[in-house]
Structure 1
């Protein structure tokens, strides 16, 4: 009798565990709350405040609770996506490439369109009173970048400098300041003779009078970079993924779109970002190891 009771209890425990695993899988594929991460390229509190209209729109459209998340840096956002701590993420182009190399199941589904184009550029700037007047003058001086996983504040300008015969740690000293606005402020203040950031963010900083353009000179613009992609977890159920795609692609509210600094969102695919993988090759970067 004891043996039969033991076998029955074991079967019951196994069935409960299996049922629990099924429930967890179902919750993961169709969670009650969607965690949406936005890039930490400016102050986190400001980003979250500005994202409240997006949160309200998504909750109404998707009929789910939505939490807006801003991670401490690009790397922590990649890790959050990798380990399923967020369901939807607005990556920078290169940080998406890095995330995809670590979590192949994530899917880009939308890209920002600004002035009719799904791309943007990096701007290289110098302090107007400093020693750097041209790209060639960068040799022998520090150069300010943003986050190492940033496209327009690191990868694209670094590739441009390499094409002009300037190699980091050999011809100039790379200095990483984390955020785009930090680069612009450091160069304007003369704390760094030159640096690079998103041209779009630079224009916003000028328009909002957060930097004085008279203290800066433009050195160059990078080649076009594919815009920031919206991505989602591949393990979400197909119906939910389609609802998320539709919610973003059909987004028309200018106030919400301004959060992404775009006029609209268009469909995107992974191959759109092969140009970033090519830039990494120019710099001999192994994205899987970054």
Structure 2
């Protein structure tokens, strides 16, 4: 539905993301606050810290309090997005595509550098290939995470049936999966994203080793920025210009993109949707599981 004042609508609507920030610091969101939801692929503290430069930029630009919010897990996040009409949501590629098809959202921007799965083991582990993990416990992020779906595919290609040949416990986030690997000898490996791995400090990375990667799968973005169905083209154009300017043309944006390993942002094109569509059946299957 088109609105008479797209900028005003933008300011009033930029929603879920920053609500999490308010919750984190114990402040009650005000009626004019901008809230933007961000996928809970890392801990809330990590998400708030990593997205703080963009939060601050949007707050200065829009002249409104901006808050980052997230959900308890991927399933809750998917439901929260579907039930809302947010001007800006930072989503996983496969869940963003479902939000387009099922809830009328439109994806406007995505990260430049691709997303792929890594199978990580402890540095001292002598294992040489995925097939050698038969009988092991391999921890993954949330069952709905695209990286978890990618990890399952990698194991199948190595001749291992997930949950049969290997046990597949889950953690709620990528960094928690790595913490379990480092802190629990019963866990032999972890499946995480290349982007999450880049955010680790050097000391932590020194304790780990990449056993296998899915870098052959090209074209899947780490994150997708999208807008809700109640926002018109003027809103989307304004938001796209502002976020692209921040990410690709400002020092703070460049630093944020480098820290996240995103390589900047670009506009979404139709070919991007076609690349992610093969993952949708598995995504719907997980969502349909009680």
TM over 0.5: yes
1:123–1:99 Cα change, 3 Å: same
Tell me if the contact between 1:48 and 1:70 (Cα under 8 Å) persists in the aligned partners.
Answer: no
Alpha carbons 2:122, 2:209 under 8 Å: kept: yes
**Residues 1:182 and 2:162 are matched in the alignment:** no
Query: d(CA) in 2 for partners of 1:276 and 1:287?
Result: 16
Moved more, 233-242 or 265-274: 265-274
CA 1:285/1:166 → structure 2, altered by over 3 Å: closer, same or farther?
farther
Q: Quick one: distance in 2 between partners of 1:127 and 1:41? A: 22
What do the CA deviations read for 1:68-120 (whole angstroms, capped 9, x no partner)? Answer: 212222222211211116331111223323434542x111110112xxxx413
Matched, 1:216 2:208: yes
Per-residue deviation, 1:233 = 0.7
Separation in 2, partners of 1:55, 1:220 = 35
User: Residue 106 of structure 2 aligns with which residue?
Assistant: 107
Q: Matched residues in 2 for 1:244 and 1:188: separation?
A: 40
2:116 is aligned to 121
CA distance in 1, matches of 2:254, 2:227: 18
Scaled by the length of structure 1, what TM-score is found? 0.76
- Using the alignment, how far apart are the partners of 1:28 and 1:237 within structure 2? 12
Kindly indicate whether the alpha-carbon contact (under 8 Å) linking 1:96 and 1:229 is maintained by their aligned counterparts in 2: yes
* Structure-2 separation of matches of 1:27 and 1:254: 25
Tell me which residue corresponds to 1:7.
Answer: none
Distance 1:161 1:271, change over 3 A: same
- Aligned match of 1:202 in 172, 197, 201? 197
Tell me whether 1:32 sits opposite 2:32 in the alignment.
no
1:194 Cα offset (Å): 0.9
Residue number in structure 1 paired with 2:22: none
Q: How many angstroms does 1:259 deviate by?
A: 4.2
Query: Tell me, which stretches of 5 or more residues in structure 1 are unaligned?
Result: 1-21
Q: Secondary structure at the match of 1:87?
A: coil
- Is 1:170 the counterpart of 2:167? The answer is no
8 Å Cα contact 1:39/1:74 also seen in 2: yes
Cα contact 2:75–2:287 (8 A) shared by 1: no
**Cα deviation per residue 1:248-271 (whole Å; 9 max; x = unaligned)?**
122223434544522321001354
CA distance, structure 2, for counterparts of residue 80 and residue 259 of structure 1: 26
For 2:146, the equivalent position in structure 1 comes to: 151
Q: 1:217 to 1:60 in 2, by over 3 A?
A: closer
2:118, 2:213 within 8 Å by CA — same for their partners in 1? yes
Return closer, same or farther for 1:56/1:127 CA change in 2, 3 Å cut-off: closer
CA contact (8 A) 1:98 1:287 kept: no
Query: Following TM superposition, by how much is the alpha carbon of 1:64 offset from its aligned partner in structure 2, in angstroms?
Result: 4.8
* SS of match in other structure, 2:190: strand
Partners of 1:30 and 1:237 within 8 A in 2: no
Unaligned runs of 5+ in 2: 16-35
More strand by share: 1
Q: Distance in 1 between matches of 2:72 and 2:62?
A: 27
